[in-house]
Structure 1
Amino acid sequence: MGRKTRDEKALTRRVPRGFGALPAAVLLLLVAAGPVALGDTARPATAGDGDGNAKPIEMVVAVDESGSLSDADVERERDATERIAAGETSSRSRLTVLGFASADDQGQRPVDEVCPTTGLDPVARDRVGDCVRKIARRPEGKGTGTDFPAVIQQAVDRLSETPDDNPRVLFLMTDGRLDVADSPSYGAKENRRKNAERVLTEVLAKARAAKIQIWPLGFGGRIDSAALDAMAAAGYQEACADLPQARPRARVVPDATAVGSALQKDFAAARCLVSDEEKTGTPPAEISLRISQLATLASIVVSKGDTAVTVTYVDPLGKEIKPGVDHDDSTFELTGARQEVESLRITDPRPGDWKVRLNAPEGHRDKLASVGVQWRGHLRSFITMSPISPRPGQRAVVELQLQTKNYEAITDPRDLERLRVSAGLTGDGFDARPVTLADDGKNGDKKAGDGRFTGAVTIPGTAAGALQVVGALGAAGFTDDHRPFWTHIPPEGPAEVGAGIDVAEGATVHPGGSIPVTVKAVNNSSTTRTLRLDVTDTAPGDLALSPSRLTVPPGKTVTRQGTLRAGGGRPRTLTGNVQVTDAATPRAVLAAQAVTLEVVPVPGLAARIWNRWWAAIVPGVILLACLVAYAVWALRDRDRRADPTGLVLRLLLPDGSGHREGGSLTVNSGGTVPYRFDVVDEMSDDPRLEPRPTTGRFHLRRSRRDGGVLLGAPGRAEEPVRIGSTVPLPEGGAHLRIERGTSGGARLGSGIFGGLGRALGTSGRRRDPRPGPGSGTAEGSGGRPESGVPGSVPYHPDL
């Protein structure tokens, strides 16, 4: 099944964000939402709806233009400002850019409105770079000091013109400290600094009253860090999340080269975005970055350093992105393609490793480019407690399962590392209690890193009536839909109806496969009860439970076997909550269990055959291997038997009425059968035998049938020759005598059967039934002695 479309997405009731004040948060939820039972229906989703779910923000970026800056410093400030505009997630947000220094003479202004307030829709973003390029270092005599009060006042004025319900943020970049020594507007020269500090305190108070956050960023060696910290602390302190990293703070970096990255991080913190470390490269280059499975909206921001650099984006499936062309349930919006900073904004991005390819023509490849990704995400979750209805003083285990927007388990350690999860217990008769949750495989947590956070809590002895446990997410960059688990302290005595459910943990199935489910129910009442079996907190079609109902007669205990089936489609890790309720009181949960189902690909035909028949395949493969090994051995043994190595060839030359012995040749085939040789200089006074592996006119090999050899000669067919006999050669009246040598010849004592013979103590050889050459008798030559060569190979009937 493909990724869920937006119509299939659903959100459940939201828990108020910020669990810092746990009792107040839980009480507010109870008042607003009323009792909530596990399995309540969900409202339509907003996660993944793109821009409609991104709250707009009002921003001012104040850029130092004082005389202490270099041209390179100003260029870095421009780059940082463009990154802010490119990385913004809402097209309804608005941006104002102010340049500031000081007013040291009549006609000078301490603040330049470089970019008037403008909306950040796609068309306007494409023009931000043109506007930002007007930021410039002030020349000598044009007001080169640093007037913080003036620029903050201007920011307050501009931001106060915006809607009250939109967050207001001032990002301030500077390389120095308060310097109004030459500014007559602050009075006499000796009082100017003191007066400026007083005005600064006043305008900071105005900023706080106007709900303006201040994020100062200092660079270089002249920074007054304490003053920047004071500015951040004096502004508005409520942030996008009740988390330390989301609250305004000052940042100082060594020099302007780090300004762009630092301001991008501050922007992400102010916007409650997740900002991963940027990567750099010089074109041509390919940079890989990861987009989490938790992301619902992401911006890839590329600081190119040169407008001639071109950028190509490739998704995790290797598909090149065409901005404006939607696919895979994602939408793409490219801005700034002709600027030094561009961004690709992706709604519902495919998770995984994306590629950003940088290219540039010759002469434009010297600037270092940086690539970063900022994103926000949406999480689902559900929470359970075991036992379902604990008694006062009893220890209960709380489990909170985190899910992606598509109801899939979160198992990537890099994602889990970002998340901080906790829970709280409230109820009648006691004060709220925190519950520590962890996904570390310890203290009752079944498996580390499975996205299921577990903790234990002891129910207070004073508890009576309703109980509720609710989770909270402590991580910037996420919206969540944590819901409470509502239950109660059971009355004294046995319950009228009780149930238990057992589902295999960590099961693995193929798409469409199922795992067994066991349900046991007891009915202590006097009437027949019908129980409902459901699987909740899962996408439609992903998980199905059967049966859906169980009838329990009065006074009976019933055990029923069922199945939990995974839907078809792509492999993934599915999660859900299997629960049993009483049809008469559906808000009362009798049993519940969180389940995780790993859906893996269906194996190919070969794998399926192996899985079914491996017990027969293994011995068959072993037998086949033995047969192949025997066949190979037999072929090699046949070649060894035909190998004439070790035989001696003697050349007999005509001598009057007889023959005299000429040269001899001991055969060494080197494994090449038949063995080829030739008579060299046979018409001379000194003819001789020489091996000629490729050109020899004569060839020789063993005969396994009669114990002799087969000799081939020019003009004659191959003919058998007994060892020890003499045969005439075709020309010159010469003869050839073949004798046994000191080695060679195939022996039965080698190979497989030889090993068996040695094991039986017989050395694998048969005794020669005939006299050997040492007896002085002839072999196949009319009574002539063989050769008298000691060490001859014993006779074998096959030779």
Structure 2
Amino acid sequence: MAVNAAPSIRSKATPNSATGAIVNAKSFAPEPTLTDVSILVDESGSLTEADVREEIKAATTIAFSGLNSRSRVSIYGFGSQNKTGQNAITAACPPLVLDSSVKADAIGACVRKLHHRDDSEGADTDHAAALAQAMSALSNGGPQGALKMIFLLTDGRLDVHASPIYGRIESDRNGEALKQVDTQLALARTNGTQVWPLGFGDQIDRAALDRFAAGGSQGGCDERSASKPRARVVHDSGDVLDSLTEAFAAAGCTGRSRGGETTLGAGETRELKINIPIIATDGTITVAKGDPRVRVDFLDPDGKTVPADGKIGDSEFERAGENATVEKLSIVNPKNGDWKVKLTAPDRLSKQLVSATAIWQGAVSSSLVVDPPSARVGQPLTVRLSLVTRRGAITDAKALSGLTFTVQAQGPSLGAANSIVVRDDGRAPDDRAGDGRYAGTFDAPPRPGDLTFTGVVSGYGVRAEKVPVTVAVTAEGLPVQGRVAFSSGAVVHPGGEVRGKVTMENKAAPARGRLVLEGSGRARATLAGATDLAIGSGTTTHPFTVRFPPDAGLGGTSLTVKVVDAADPSKTYAVNQLTVTVKNPPGWLQRHWHEIAGVLLLLLLVAFLAYLRRRARRARVDVRGLRASLRQDGEELTVLKAPGKWAPEFRFVVHDSSDGRDPGLDYPHPGDRPVRARRGAPGKVVVQIPDGPRYEIEIGTGGEPYEETGLMLAFTDVTRRRSVRPRRTGDRAGDRARTRADATSTDRPDDLGTSGGRPDDPGSGTGQAEPSTTSTSSTYNDPWL
């Protein structure tokens, strides 16, 4: 059976004397797990000085990691008592409630009494004396209702062969000590004390550690198997801190976030990042910094350096251990997200391995409503369950995804307890999927009697108060019953409202009712308008409005609207739960993002079409691939290729015999007046002679006369522009011919969008290209007009 810390509930549930119903409290203040912890640290001679330092670091971290300010902690070292004047126990830190930073600093100081023992102090391993000391500390003056836990750190098996207190015969002493260990474990089981052993090193007796864990109380902080005590073993003392914090988190139903570790040298600054999730209501970040001189700054997820003591918003901070090797920051209502731990080393510092760990918990209340609040035998009941923290209801689906929600129904007429499946998937009886309110149904038993419903929420890092709701089941049911319904979405804005309707069924004389709103919390919602209801005979309906002020607190909120008897408010006729998230209204961009996205998409489309059009135009006028040639009497005298980069015109000069040189073509030089050739209509080139005519030359022909020189100017095109033609079925000869042509041609990449042509062999200088077959329109606009 689970042992739960005493609840902290500011206003208790109110019993209904007429119907037996209990309505939920108006305001809950759930607190983190309340613990009474004793830490036992092995000081035996088989350890090294470094091993003891690791144990001290782990013990201090656990002492600092308690989240409830009413929790208590004690720390003891142990070895053995082998002669007069020795003591098996080092009373390092007697039981202390860490409700202030001053007391936390005291822990940082007293833990330094732990040390590595030599033979003169009793350096063997006396687990019996250690357990007896812890049980003595936990049996006196601890906080009422606290979970009692012993954390046993040891590097070896029990060994008291040299301790006369266990008998005169040396060979019998270990056996006698084991009997006393069993006695202490039986006492621990009786007193509800868990034992969490952690062994490290090569001399561990794993079977003994398992007996320690199984011998104490098996009542965990909740019903999960992960919360039950078990032994842990690590091979190196350097892993003790990590394993012990894991055990502490499991024992107290807390969560753990690791910030990793890094090496810090003289004058260096390092940062460690550590996450605190949205469900956390309380947290402690501990930093094992090795040297007290290392400065630690804590930065919240917004990048703000938090104060040592004080508040930012509704977050409260308290710091301790600045002058110790382990420093901590306790946070009530921490911001969720990634925190940063900034470490700054002094100028003179040997290299230190520093690390950070966060222990956190969602201390929540399970808000439960049963509709109707009283029932007749066999009547269907609807249960609605949501999770409420100090800040309001948890409505974030991601934060709730790892939790388990159930409702337990118990009563004399049921026999065994019944588990009710509740869901948040939008299927009846759930109203909306993913709003943080879980719903299920249950049929009242066929016999009268009281039913008690309890919401059970469990999961990693969560501790939920259990507030029962009792429903009276009678043979006929109450003559006045009703139903409360809401018409709203999952989100409401500050200054907004939620409308609802009450439908009442009255089989008796007219009655007077009153609407009551509970649980408004940070949202500060109110009922608008008249709250008094006239409940006539038969069926009557009454609209109502729940209003949220302009300064309503943001976040999830769970409200309860009920109809009570005006003369006797303890008599409840109808009840329902409203769970919504209060969010600021969307800004202008959020409201119009559809229109903005549409305009942007249209602009992108226009730009893309313009790009395609420009690309196509550039491809049409690109003169790459053109070759100009001079011919005389049918013989080709010279060939000139167009430049290899994109250009809208091909410029060249023509030399004839008039200037004393052999006829030829050349690229223009400064001062030359070149011939300008552009692509014209499909398969043609438009040529502009300097101070002369403009005419067209068909590509691939014999050319046209060039002025009065007796020379012919001709053009070929090594870029074949292919049109897309329908393929005729059966044209296999054409297929084969095209395949041969493709196999002998060379692809030329065209990054400007021209048709993927294959040039003739450019090395010959005399090859003529096929006439262009591009599908460009036959209408041609002269580029020089």
TM-score, with length taken from structure 1: 0.71
Q: Once the two structures are superposed, what CA deviation does each residue of 1:334-384 show, in whole Å capped at 9, x if it has no partner?
A: 222343322111122112232334565799686544432223432133223
Kindly indicate whether the alpha-carbon contact (under 8 Å) linking 1:11 and 1:42 is maintained by their aligned counterparts in 2. Answer: no
Match of 1:256 in 2: 237
Match of 1:289 in 2: 274
Confirm whether residue 181 of structure 1 aligns to residue 165 of structure 2: no
Rounded to whole Å, the distance in 1 between the matches of 2:476 and 2:134 is: 65
Match of 1:61 in 2: 39
Q: Identify the range of structure 1 (75-84 vs 411-420) with the bigger mean alpha-carbon deviation.
A: 411-420
Match of 1:335 in 2: 320
Confirm whether residue 72 of structure 1 aligns to residue 50 of structure 2: yes
Give the 5 Å matches for 1:338-737.
338-358=323-343, 368-386=353-371, 389-413=374-398, 415-419=400-404, 421-426=406-411, 433-439=417-423, 441=425, 446=430, 451-463=436-448, 467-473=451-457, 480-489=464-473, 492=476, 495=479, 498-499=482-483, 501-504=485-488, 507-508=490-491, 512-513=495-496, 517=500, 519-521=502-504, 527=510, 532-533=514-515, 535-541=517-523, 543=525, 549=531, 554=536, 572-581=555-564, 583=566, 586-598=569-581, 602-609=585-592, 611=594, 625=605, 629=609, 633=613, 637=617, 640=620, 672-679=647-654, 683-692=659-668, 697-698=673-674, 700=676, 711=688, 713=690, 721-723=694-696
Structure 1 residues 513 and 89, CA gap change in structure 2 (3 angstroms): closer
Q: In the TM superposition, what is the alpha-carbon distance from 1:327 to its structure 2 partner?
A: 0.9
Structure 1 residues 356 and 696, CA gap change in structure 2 (3 angstroms): farther
Give the 5 Å matches for 1:87-98.
87-89=65-67, 95-98=73-76
Q: Which amino acid aligns with 1:503?
A: S
Q: Once the two structures are superposed, what CA deviation does each residue of 1:61-108 show, in whole Å capped at 9, x if it has no partner?
A: 332222222333322222222223322346666655433222333443
Match of 1:759 in 2: none
Q: Once the two structures are superposed, what CA deviation does each residue of 1:572-598 show, in whole Å capped at 9, x if it has no partner?
A: 444434445564665454444434435
Q: Which runs of 5+ in 1 are unaligned?
A: 1-9, 16-28, 654-659, 729-733, 756-788
Kindly indicate whether the alpha-carbon contact (under 8 Å) linking 1:11 and 1:380 is maintained by their aligned counterparts in 2. Answer: no
In structure 2, which of residues 72, 77, 83 is the aligned counterpart of residue 99 of structure 1? 77
Rounded to whole Å, the distance in 2 between the matches of 1:309 and 1:410 is: 40
Kindly indicate whether the alpha-carbon contact (under 8 Å) linking 2:214 and 2:229 is maintained by their aligned counterparts in 1. Answer: yes
Kindly indicate whether the alpha-carbon contact (under 8 Å) linking 1:326 and 1:332 is maintained by their aligned counterparts in 2. Answer: yes
Give the 5 Å matches for 1:114-263.
114-115=92-93, 120=98, 121-126=100-105, 128-140=107-119, 142-155=121-134, 162=141, 165=144, 170-190=150-170, 191-197=172-178, 214-225=195-206, 227-228=208-209, 251-263=232-244
Structure 1 residues 332 and 638, CA gap change in structure 2 (3 angstroms): closer
Rounded to whole Å, the distance in 1 between the matches of 2:622 and 2:140 is: 105
The percentage of aligned residue pairs carrying the same residue is 29
Q: Which amino acid aligns with 1:501?
A: A
Q: Which amino acid aligns with 1:174?
A: T
In structure 2, which of residues 67, 87, 103 is the aligned counterpart of residue 109 of structure 1? 87
Q: Which amino acid aligns with 1:178?
A: L
Secondary structure, aligned partner of 1:258: helix
Structure of higher CA gyration radius: 1
Secondary structure, aligned partner of 1:84: helix
Q: Once the two structures are superposed, what CA deviation does each residue of 1:373-431 show, in whole Å capped at 9, x if it has no partner?
A: 2234321332233455543123433221222322223445565535564322447x665
Q: Which amino acid aligns with 2:104?
A: R
Q: Which amino acid aligns with 1:147?
A: D
Kindly indicate whether the alpha-carbon contact (under 8 Å) linking 1:651 and 1:735 is maintained by their aligned counterparts in 2. Answer: no
Q: In the TM superposition, what is the alpha-carbon distance from 1:299 to its structure 2 partner?
A: 0.8
Structure 1 residues 703 and 452, CA gap change in structure 2 (3 angstroms): closer
Secondary structure, aligned partner of 2:306: coil
Q: Once the two structures are superposed, what CA deviation does each residue of 1:113-159 show, in whole Å capped at 9, x if it has no partner?
A: 34566664423534544543443333345533223344445555666
Rounded to whole Å, the distance in 2 between the matches of 1:421 and 1:55 is: 24
Match of 1:318 in 2: 303
Q: Once the two structures are superposed, what CA deviation does each residue of 1:289-347 show, in whole Å capped at 9, x if it has no partner?
A: 33233333211122234556554432222323332352122122222234332211112
Secondary structure, aligned partner of 1:276: strand
| Number of positions where the alignment pairs a residue of Structure 1 with one of Structure 2 | 711
Kindly indicate whether the alpha-carbon contact (under 8 Å) linking 1:86 and 1:336 is maintained by their aligned counterparts in 2. Answer: no
Rounded to whole Å, the distance in 1 between the matches of 2:180 and 2:453 is: 50
Q: Once the two structures are superposed, what CA deviation does each residue of 1:433-488 show, in whole Å capped at 9, x if it has no partner?
A: 43334447599674776543444433121115x55533344569766454444544
Q: In the TM superposition, what is the alpha-carbon distance from 1:182 to its structure 2 partner?
A: 1.9
Secondary structure, aligned partner of 1:69: coil
Structure 1 residues 595 and 34, CA gap change in structure 2 (3 angstroms): closer
Secondary structure, aligned partner of 2:275: strand
Rounded to whole Å, the distance in 2 between the matches of 1:565 and 1:328 is: 24
Q: Which amino acid aligns with 1:539?
A: G
Rounded to whole Å, the distance in 2 between the matches of 1:424 and 1:371 is: 43
Rounded to whole Å, the distance in 1 between the matches of 2:499 and 2:97 is: 56
Rounded to whole Å, the distance in 1 between the matches of 2:64 and 2:225 is: 25
Provide the aligned C-alpha RMSD in A.
5.4
Q: Which amino acid aligns with 2:62?
A: I
Rounded to whole Å, the distance in 2 between the matches of 1:795 and 1:265 is: 81
Q: Which amino acid aligns with 2:676?
A: L
Structure 1 residues 580 and 708, CA gap change in structure 2 (3 angstroms): same
Q: Once the two structures are superposed, what CA deviation does each residue of 1:725-771 show, in whole Å capped at 9, x if it has no partner?
A: 9787xxxxx869896756799x9x999xx99xxxxxxxxxxxxxxxx
Kindly indicate whether the alpha-carbon contact (under 8 Å) linking 2:632 and 2:712 is maintained by their aligned counterparts in 1. Answer: no
Rounded to whole Å, the distance in 2 between the matches of 1:265 and 1:661 is: 91
Rounded to whole Å, the distance in 1 between the matches of 2:187 and 2:778 is: 118
Confirm whether residue 278 of structure 1 aligns to residue 253 of structure 2: no
Rounded to whole Å, the distance in 2 between the matches of 1:207 and 1:220 is: 26
Rounded to whole Å, the distance in 2 between the matches of 1:795 and 1:541 is: 74
Rounded to whole Å, the distance in 2 between the matches of 1:311 and 1:634 is: 61
Q: Which runs of 5+ in 2 are unaligned?
A: 1-7, 265-269, 698-703, 727-768
Q: Once the two structures are superposed, what CA deviation does each residue of 1:675-710 show, in whole Å capped at 9, x if it has no partner?
A: 3223469733214222449986325266999x9968
Secondary structure, aligned partner of 1:283: strand
